[in-house]
Structure 1
Amino acid sequence: MREFPKFAPVNLWFDYPVHRIDNVGVLSDIQPEAEKPYWQKGKDARKKQGEAQQKDKQAKYSIAIGSFRLEHDDVYPTVKELYEQMRSDAETVGEKYPSEKTIYNSLKKIGYTTDKETKRLVPLPEKTGNGNE
């Protein structure tokens, strides 16, 4: 309970069926709090998995854009053309592919935007970090 101070931990040996107090002090060196709790381990694992999925997604977009540019004389695709390219690539290997709307919404995350006149993808300008943009 919050109103009372915590008790000092007691180090015990389990000698079936009895618990015995560690009089020598061998167990005092062990720090069980150093290990992360299960919820935090799960959180870290989900974070790593999410980062890996994001990198995989970015790689797929980059490959599709590079493939389109290679086939079409270094011209960036429109969102529709990128969708068609990704769909054909995914169908070839039997994977799922994102919808056209998902591709459009993901452009900024992967470093692209669309040109308002031509509707083609345009790489976002690199941020230099000096504030003179």
Structure 2
Amino acid sequence: MSLTRSRRTFIAGMGLAGLAGIAGCVDGRGSSRGATDVILHNEAEVSRTVEMTVTQRGGESSNIDTSLDMNPHSRQKINNEVIMDSDYDVEVTYTDDTGESPYSESQEWNDAGQPLHILLNDQIVFAVQIG
């Protein structure tokens, strides 16, 4: 009897672990597509205020619409706000105490899958993570 109960407990635990492993991978519409991240890197020697919007192409509202205060040589990760395999328009503006401020760039992010890194230094560079 004890052996059967232990096996049942083990199997139930494995089922719960499997469900926890896929939690968040299905959106409210029943899609099996996951979500990916946007990671901002302030590589400059100065603090910056960064405004960013990420809007799904053809969508009515932004997936990300935020303003962040970033210290020098810092990074900020925005988790799971972008549905994979969709196309997005990304707009980034930063302001700081330099003469080049404010500075803005826009980028199309097609077939979002891997995280998008946005590097802020003397300019704004968009790089999709590989692997």
Shorter-chain TM-score tier: 0.3 to 0.5
Q: Indicate the structure with greater strand content.
A: 2
Please, what TM-score do these two structures have when normalized by structure 1? 0.32
* TM-score for both structures, normalised by structure 2: 0.33
